[in-house]
Amino acid sequence: MAEKILMKGNEAIAISAIRNGVDGYFGYPITPQSEVMETLMKERPWLSTGMVVLQAESETSSINMVYGGASTGKKVMTSSSSPGISLMCEGISYMAGAELPCVIVDCQRGGPGLGTIQPSQSDYNQVVKGGGHGDYKNIVLAPASAQDMYDFVDWGFDLAFKYRTPVVILADGIIGQMMEKVELRPQKPRRTAEQVSQDAPWATLGKTPDRERNIITSLSLEADVQERFNRKLQAKYEEISRNEVKYSTYMTEDAEYILVAFGCSSRICEAVTDILRAEGIKVGLLRPITLFPFPTEQLAELSKKVKSMMSIELNLGQMVEDVRLSCEGRCPVGFYGRQGGNIFTPEEIAEEFKKFNNLK
Amino acid sequence: MNLEDIKKPENIVYRKTPLLTDAIMHYCPGCSHGTVHKIIAEVIDEMGIQDKTIAISPVGCSVFAYNYIDVDWQEAAHGRAPALATATKRLNPDKYVFTYQGDGDLASIGTAEIIHACSRGENIVVIFINNGIYGMTGGQMAPTTLLGMKTATTPYGRDAKLNGFPMVIAPMIAQLDGTAFITRQAVHTAAAARKAKAAIRKAFEYSMKDIGLSFVEIVATCNSGWKMSPVEANKWMVENMFAKYPLGDIKDVLK
């Protein structure tokens, strides 16, 4: 019998980290994600798996602890919410530049500034388009349930190590705080020292006579060297775009209209689809599960067949730009969003959808 | 007698430690960094811990320290080295982990990171180079710049009203329960360098005793930034820097 437990999305992240043999978690309290570290401290995994858990003095420090831990080839992660992610952007840029694997959970709240502690999806641009300086991208996974929160930790580390790059789980206050049934997977052991050395021959674990010293750095002052490195990074992102796009669809086969939504909004848009279908309007939903890489080709294909698309987000229009770029003007692309912690109802979205499409 | 006949292992009284690479140092002639690098490399060599040492370099002139000492290195963002070292040591408690940081890196932008690493009692070694100036960016005021000292951003001399007072880190962190060994050394004479080397060795040894953070401040010269000859810079350091930053052990929990 699978072990199923009712828990918050944030708790699922913590339990998943322990069960998947994560080596270290470094965090700083911020609403609405504090349950991640609270759960870890309560579980005391250092007594069971040997996992290190540490409360840092700031998000600046916690992401740099992740940098240090990742430099030794370990599976290390942090979690925060939007203002904390802003502080971490320095470290994330350095990790992208030093090609270090890690998982970062962003349980989004509203901004700008101190904003609100209510749910939001307004970190899309910050997390998907960069945030820190330089030509880099994060792999971005968008969970829509507590189960996704649990499952994406392991998936995130697989991708992070496969491509030596930071992976962000872009959740929000709803997904983090909502309690749902979560199926737990069996405990995986942490990797042994030998396995870590095998997985990460680049790791700084002490120079042995059989190899040159390992140096983890993002610095190169020679123009040609830096340009070559940046082109290598871009080639990596292109490979990720070719291989790792993940999305789900709901009633898109015969759809004349497409809703596009990620995370908690995609859950709400399933209900919108049902409401509109009941009225005889052929609507389908595409949910990007990876935000980078973005399901550009899939949206491009759909844009050739449908009358319109509409991006539904808890912000004032961020992902919609990528939807429009994917459609390249082949169909009209509308947008509806709420802000400040207000969450749209399915009926509200259905009304907005009809307005945009001139339907009664 | 032929010179080659003399070059025999049994006749060697001094050699460059193999842990110091053959890379030509980018430091200015007269700079203290080269000497500090050499004594750190010698300590690691003499302790036989090359395969157990993880070093973390800062942002500043010593950003390229990884080119010179033949151990595994992590290059940190400006000021963040103690955060990297914290996780590195906690995840790898059997390794010797040290940071190498200048005064801008440690005492200005990285103040939070060093204070909290000290407060948590991380079992790491911190080498702190205090030359009272930002060398790499062209000689601007550092937190440790002395009052009256001229820099690119205090062209009329550091004025307490305008620029604040010099930051004195070592006694401040000595008050924190998480620190085990705090000392202030210099490398301007052979005798001083030998004492500094002994202090660095002690710090490395302490970092395996689970007693907290060991901190070796090296009061250093930046003759280019100070706009002096190396000899003048040493003299100026002894007369001025040592008055504000006197040498000697400040804390040793095992004494």
Residue A290 has pLDDT above 70, yes or no: yes
Do A273 and A137 share a structural domain? no
In Å, what is the CA distance from B15 to each residue of A101, A320, B19, B187?
A: 40, 66, 11, 19
Sign of the CA dihedral running B234, B237, B242, B243: positive
Contact B116 A68 (CB under 8 A): no
Contact B75 A215 (CB under 8 A): yes
pLDDT class of A182 with cuts at 50, 70, 90: very high
Torsion of CA A300, A305, A307, A312, to 10 degrees: -40
pLDDT class of A209 with cuts at 50, 70, 90: very high
What the block records as the tokens of A32 is 């609405």
Q: How many residues does chain A have?
A: 360
Q: Which of A74, A94, A209 sits opposite B91 (nearest CB)?
A: A74
Rounded to whole angstroms, the Cα distance separating A275 from A283 reads 10
Single residue among A163, A197, A231 that ends a domain in this structure? A197
DSSP codes of every residue in B127-148: EEEE-SEETTTTSEE-TTPPTT
Rounded to whole angstroms, the Cα distance separating B102 from B110 reads 10
Task: Tell me which residues of chain A, numbers 89 to 148, contact chain B at a CB-CB cutoff of 8 Å.
Answer: 90-91, 94, 98
Single residue among A138, A168, A197 that ends a domain in this structure? A197
Q: Which residue has the higher pLDDT, B5 or A97?
A: A97
Sign of the CA dihedral running B140, B146, B150, B154: positive
Do A155 and A259 share a structural domain? no
Contact A98 B84 (CB under 8 A): no
Residue A253 has pLDDT above 80, yes or no: yes
Q: Give this prediction's pTM.
A: 0.97
Residue B3 has pLDDT above 90, yes or no: no
Do A255 and A193 share a structural domain? no
The answer to whether residue A112 is domain-embedded is yes
> Tell me, what's the pLDDT at A1?
61
Torsion of CA B21, B26, B30, B32, to 10 degrees: -60
Whether A25 and chain B come into contact, CB under 8 Å, resolves to no
Mean pLDDT, chain B, rounded, equals 97
Tell me how many residue pairs between chain A and chain B have CB atoms under 8 A apart: 121
- Across residues A286-311, what is the average pLDDT? 98
The answer to whether residue B201 is domain-embedded is yes
The answer to whether residue B35 is domain-embedded is yes
Residue B27 has pLDDT above 80, yes or no: yes
Residue A113: give its domain's CATH number: 3.40.50.970
Q: Which of A64, A94, A204 sits opposite B54 (nearest CB)?
A: A204
Å from A28 to nearest chain B CA?
13
pLDDT tens digits, residue range A215-229?
Answer: 999 999 999 999 999
Residue A340: give its domain's CATH number: 3.40.50.920
The answer to whether residue A313 is domain-embedded is yes
ipTM score of the complex? 0.96
> Tell me, what's the pLDDT at B1?
76
Do A82 and A178 share a structural domain? yes
Whether A17 and chain B come into contact, CB under 8 Å, resolves to no
Do A288 and A186 share a structural domain? no
Do A162 and A43 share a structural domain? yes
- Across residues B124-147, what is the average pLDDT? 97
pLDDT tens digits, residue range A22-33?
Answer: 999 999 999 999
Total domains present in chain B? 1
Rounded to whole angstroms, the Cα distance separating A281 from B191 reads 88
Cβ(A354)–Cβ(A360) under 8 Å? yes
Do A251 and A171 share a structural domain? no
Mean pLDDT, chain A, rounded, equals 97
Residue B113: give its domain's CATH number: 3.40.50.970
In B, what residues contact A, Cβ < 8 A? 50-54, 56, 63, 66, 70-77, 80, 83-88, 90-92, 95, 112-113, 115-116
CA-nearest residue to A50 within chain B is B91
- Across residues B114-134, what is the average pLDDT? 98
Å from A216 to nearest chain B CA?
5
Contact A54 B74 (CB under 8 A): no
Do A167 and A29 share a structural domain? yes
Do A176 and A267 share a structural domain? no
CA-nearest residue to A204 within chain B is B72
Contact B80 A57 (CB under 8 A): no
Identify the domain containing residue A191 by its residue range.
Answer: 3-197
Total domains present in chain A? 2
- Across residues A5-12, what is the average pLDDT? 98
Contact A68 B77 (CB under 8 A): no
Do A81 and A11 share a structural domain? yes
Identify the domain containing residue B217 by its residue range.
Answer: 28-252
Residue B23 has pLDDT above 80, yes or no: yes
Whether A208 and chain B come into contact, CB under 8 Å, resolves to yes
